[in-house]
Structure 1
Amino acid sequence: MPVLPRVLPRVLPLPLLVLLIGLWAGIAPAADRDRLRAFLEITGFDMALDSIALSAADAPAMVGLAPGDFGLAWPRIRDEVFDPAAMRAQALDILAQTLDEEMLGHAASFYASGLGQRLVAVENASHMRPGGADEQAEGEALLAAMDARRRGALAAMNDAIDVSGQSVIAVQELQFRFLMAASAAGLTEDEIDAATLRQVLAQGAEEMRAQMRAAALASAALTYRDIPTAELRAYAEALAHPVMARVYELMNAVQYEIMADRFERLARRLAEVPRAQDL
């Protein structure tokens, strides 16, 4: 699946995910679990789920800490909370209720094609990149030297995978859920007021939207640098198809609900660790 920048993970609010599950569950019978596992692999969604663990290091900074503050407990807790098998199983549980035959068949058909597999190969590699300022700069340099036609294709792809414009709301929801979990677990010095936190997050929404859009474009430039422009335009058209749009709305909801859930679990686990000690 297309690669998004690791500015902060995107996550759809839990109430929206519940609503989507209710809507999709009534459309058509969901696919069986074996076919869903194959779907994860052929679309690259399995690697997208595995890459959630790479964002774990960003979590402590939200409460003014760093992974090193938790000593030797950090890698153990990170690996337990962000266990790839557990996250894939969680995704399968949700998709088994929601991904109907039309959606599965449409997406699998595209990603099983020659173009689809070439795209998945570069996306899988990109999912596991560490990210950071150097990669952002490399992507921006590629954009600066890029012609308008290719840049337009990348922008169209990014717009298609977030057609409802939920990215900023989703990121803020993840921040809210992590910080409230951290506060409840005693990981923060002072108790966080939910209403105040909502207000603070809302104030930075427009700036975050601009940052995320720029980061997404730079990330796409780097990820797809070896893919011809004509194929990128074909990809943008495929992503804009109404059925594919439904697939990505669901896949985004699943991925980012799992991410938010794991960040909440991480907050509770980290609160148990005496900081600055090698445990």
Structure 2
Amino acid sequence: MTILTLTTDFGYKDHFVGALKGAIFSEIENATIVDISHSINPFNIQECAYILKNSYKTFPKGTVHIVGVDAELTKENEHIITYVDGHYFISANNGVVCLITSEVKPEKIVSINIPDTKDGSFPTYDVFIKAACHLARGGKMEVVGKPFTNLKTFKDFVPQLIDGGKTIIGNIVYIDNYGNVVSNIQKNLFEAYKNGRDYEVRVRGKVLKTIHNKYSDIINFDAEKNRRNGPGDLLALFNSSQFLELAIYKSNLTTVGGASTLLGLDYRDTITINFL
């Protein structure tokens, strides 16, 4: 049985998530539904794209991903199905799959055209579920849509290279549960321009000379405990998704704070790497 995933900014207070699942079970009684996240910040396409990129590939090929973020139909926000990397993404044409399609070319895209569907304020329920269940039953994209080519992308996900590659200017695209901030600078870009040079990471007046592989690399376990870096110290690393991340070691947003709060960082703020 095909897996269907749900990614939305609906939260859990309201009836929306339950209604989506009820509608799926009404169509496919033994459906397998997985919640990726319902805690996307409202209308935050960049955050949604980052979460999707780093979760979809762990699912089997053929999985149908329903994306209920900024999904209301307009002339500039069409409803589409994107088939890419063996997965189906049902979303609005708002750039949400651009992180995925920037690395893997979509095999097929259609604009959803299902007769007698309601054009209302809850398109994830009225339109996306119908399309998703059709695909989950083995249906073809062409039955519920027409060929589409105008897929939107986001320039926010593309770092800038200046001074002939001596500087990479990135932006924050995600803030996680610990307050760690994730930039759009990927490790492969950093390595391509490093060329054996020293470097510095600059953000909010802070300068870091090392990018670690894991969080605990900040600690020199050979040093005396009172002379070590540790909890509360700032570090940079390429995270498990290979994006440059800034973190406060063993941070806690509800008590001491995290990199986002302690450095005053938010979405789209700048992180710079200078090669020396």
TM-score (normalizing by structure 1):
0.20
Return the structure number with greater strand share.
2
Of structures 1 and 2, the one scoring higher in RCO (CA 8 A, sep 6+) is 1
Return the structure number with greater helix share.
1
TM-score (normalizing by structure 2):
0.20
Larger Rg computed on CA atoms: 2
